[in-house]
Structure 1
Amino acid sequence: MPPPSDIVKVAIEWPGANAQLLEIDQKRPLASIIKEVCDGWSLPNPEYYTLRYADGPQLYITEQTRSDIKNGTILQLAISPSRAARQLMERTQSSNMEARLDAMKELAKLSADVTFATEFINMDGIVVLTRLVESGTKLLSHYSEMLAFTLTAFLELMDHGIVSWDMVSITFIKQIAGYVSQPMVDVSILQRSLAILESMVLNSQSLYQKIAEEITVGQLISHLQVSNQEIQTYAIALINALFLKAPEDKRQDKHLNPLDLPATDMANAFAQKHLRSIILNHVIRGNRPIKTEMAHQLYVLQVLTFNLLEERMMTKMDPNDQAQRDIIFELRRIAFDAESDPSNVPGSGTEKRKAMYTKDYKMLGFTNHINPAMDFTQTPPGMLALDNMLYLAKVHQDTYIRIVLENSSREDKHECPFGRSAIELTKMLCEILQVGELRVIMEVLELAFSILYDPDETLNFIAPNKYEYCIWIDGLSALLGKDMSSELTKSDLDTLLSMEMKLRLLDLENIQIPEAPPPVPKEPSSYDFVYHYG
């Protein structure tokens, strides 16, 4: 006969004592189980202790998470999160540097647990850590190692979302940005500093502005030229974050040196060109295989880069805009030079000039020979196709001229007109590369959920609508023996409660409510109903 589902068999350890093998009844209060464990080792004050996992992140076990305990799990008896937080708070401010370093190591490990993090933050632990970083006393022994653990603990605590990133001071931001901009800094400090700046940028628009004023594009790009792929990954992650927050008006500013651009101009076209060159030479063509996280960050950067083209892709050409029409004139001028310019033909009039233009536009391969601007009124590809054509004409002029002249002299059945081909090719590339189609929207994020069926494996889903999302979440919660907490369940409960209140109010008014529902009427003799209009 299988054991009851509410009973789990575990081993519980305590330093210097033999492990206890227990059968835990999940229906019993956790405090009662901890008291039983403490009594087994004759430990007083069981309220000072709690249970946590012995392996992995060693997370604390609470009433909310105890259902995750599996048969055969090894647990530890440990001091409670509140006592641990209080002790570490005192030790992190000790005058003994060795004791402070040990405290920071333990704090960095425990901060990943949300239960401990809540207790430590409630004791103003974040304020203490920021002050330690702001002091920047480099004369202390073990300074680099201690700072690395301090930054790790700070990042872990903030990642729980218990407090807002906006509480961070300008002094702290300058200190962290200083570690990123320094040419020679400990790798562990640099890695954590990049991660902290990324979180600040993603979680606060006001902090984005402050951080962007402290670092330049060149300082970030320099971290892509190192041999440490972890540093490269964190640097690209920060670049992506700055890219996401970059205001639209900063994306096309022209500067002579892209490395001197402030980080607010991360999406600037010149900075992007230099960034792509560095990534190609030092990351993609590097002598190390690209890891999963690096591949993901490169993918995100590629999506963000392509999305910059969306505005031009969705912009129709205005046939009355002289600046836009001048681009078409430039394409014609480069292809046929001055030899076909009607102004050089003696006695050329308006009609002859129009005929010459029409002939040239036909040779360029436009569909509308009279007004080629009309070829760019379809979106996509819109003005992006014209941008690509002009780039080819100016940067690869010989190739452009050869393509135009070769196709203009072919037979009709073999023709591949440059204009039409360029427009269709641009449209095809926009579809293949999904330009502008991969922006994450909050509505989609709210419909996503994951099933963890193995410590390292998950099944990820996106529900087609809110109703099905609620059905899935409630169904999975019911299977796991947890409360159903979706918005749909709450709405149903509200409806039932409202109905119950109405019934009780009717009862207070002495209005008789029948115990049984009214009888269902008999079926009609036939269903042939006729309605006569008046």
Structure 2
Amino acid sequence: MYTKTIKMPATKDSNIVKIAIQMADQQAQLIEFNQKQPLTGIIQELCNAWDLSDPDTYALQFSDNNNHNYITEKNRNEIKNGSILRLEHSPSKTASDILAKLNNGNNDEKVSALQKLSTLSNDVTFALEFINKQGLALIISQVGSEMAHQLYVLQTLLLGLLEQRMMTKMDPQDQDALDKIKELRRIAFDTEGSVSGDVTARKQGVFAKDYKKLGFKYDINPAMDFTETPPGMLALDCMVYFARNHMESYTKVVLENSCRADEHECPFGRTSVELVKLLCEVLRIGEAPSEQGQCYHPMFFKHDHPFEEFYCVCIVLLNKTWKEMRATTEDFVKVFSVVKEQITRALQSKPTGLDKFKLKLHQLTYSVITSLWQQERTSREECESHAKPIIELREQITPEIMDLIRQQRLGFLVEGTRFTKYGPRGQRMKDKFRYVRLSPNHKVFHYGECDEKSVPTIDELPAKLAVVEIRALLTGRDCPHMKDLQRRKTTHQLAFSLALDSVEVSSLDFVAPDEQVFDYWTDGINALLGNKMTSKETEKDLETLLSMDIKLRLLDAEGIDIPTEPPPIPDNPPHYDFCYELT
């Protein structure tokens, strides 16, 4: 193959490397590439040699198997002696051609354009050009799951550029980083804005006090706050970006917390480090794109610093949530669990811009989140309660729970109750009270008159009634003292009587002071008589205790979906040769 050579003046300058330039349907050019010469000038010379017009529509690309990125002023230093580059259409021209084919091309042209877009989407330079030309909006409207995957890959790779900073610990000797920490203090507390104030006006002890107000964990040496990876230096980058670009919000956050009581302050430094770590986790920064992934967020393609702006919105949210929860430093983990829920739920709504993301966060207050959690928990429990394994478990433990309720009711009767005395026709007897209690062996009721405040012991109650003498329990209108309804002075719903086999006394009559006492006594008497306890209190207690017991038994299965039907029992094995006895 014939190669055309452009002669360059001989030089030993280290900025000059010898490389080859290829182009489709053209002879390769061997040139001496001057790192100090602008790329536009080099491309102009190449176009002149190949008689190409419009050099502004061309750009250089790497031609390595794993690197097809466009060459820019930022990455040109990667060109080494012997490198082979390609002259291709510029990112702007290529993006325009792809969009034209996607809009107006036939099916084959659209497939070809999508394949080229898939190849170039890893290049940030091209990606930004494509997005600026509204390519993202077109793709969202025209392309389905395959393109969604490519956008997911693009987002993952763009955010993946932050991994290096995320995994970089702060170097105590890094003067630039130390200056950024000082800048955070100066913007927050030096109202005159004087840079020289750091040198002349304040002592180190006062700086430490300011760093404590800023919420750093290590206020003597704040650099120590950025030694954990992740989030590493990415946390400092975000904090400085917030202070520089959203100064009013930054100073408001810092000054509001510096004025609170120590236990209620939301430490800006510490929460920022933890928040950046959380955001990296939510966005999976540092993870390679999966083959099936399709989850992307359009708002990250609409800003030059998407992650930093994302942090700025979330740090304001965090402070708002902290105040809503009236949190203290001991609630740090709890606050972040709520903030994570707010962020993930807002992202699930696929906001197209940061403004819509803010609006969604504004709707997801702390009270809304707790309400949603409760609804989801109730719904999950309701669904699980109908599963056959849960139904069988309820049936299995119900007798144990009913026995607990029975013991509680009998214990209540042993403690005893003071009842107001009523006449045979249901009239209340003024200042007349009867105290009744069951013996510890559950065989005898002891009762007798008492005053309004006394609690007599069993020995102080003269009358006795053996449980075996009770023929039946009567309630409501069936009670003897509720027969004359016209002259009654109490409600019959709380009345109950013990019908006796005794000739001398046919019944022992009561009116409970409230519904709970009525339920407890009727339950206890039914338990003594061997009858079923059917009161509303029993139903409520049974449901409460069953629910608590089942939750405790299922703690180890938290997060596991319980099937509505048990899995089928497998067939017997063809043989049992795998069984053996240990000697």
TM-score by length of structure 2 reads 0.34
Structure with larger RCO (C-alpha < 8 A, sep 6+): 2
More strand by share: 2
Give 1 or 2: higher helix fraction: 1
Which of the two has higher C-alpha Rg?
2
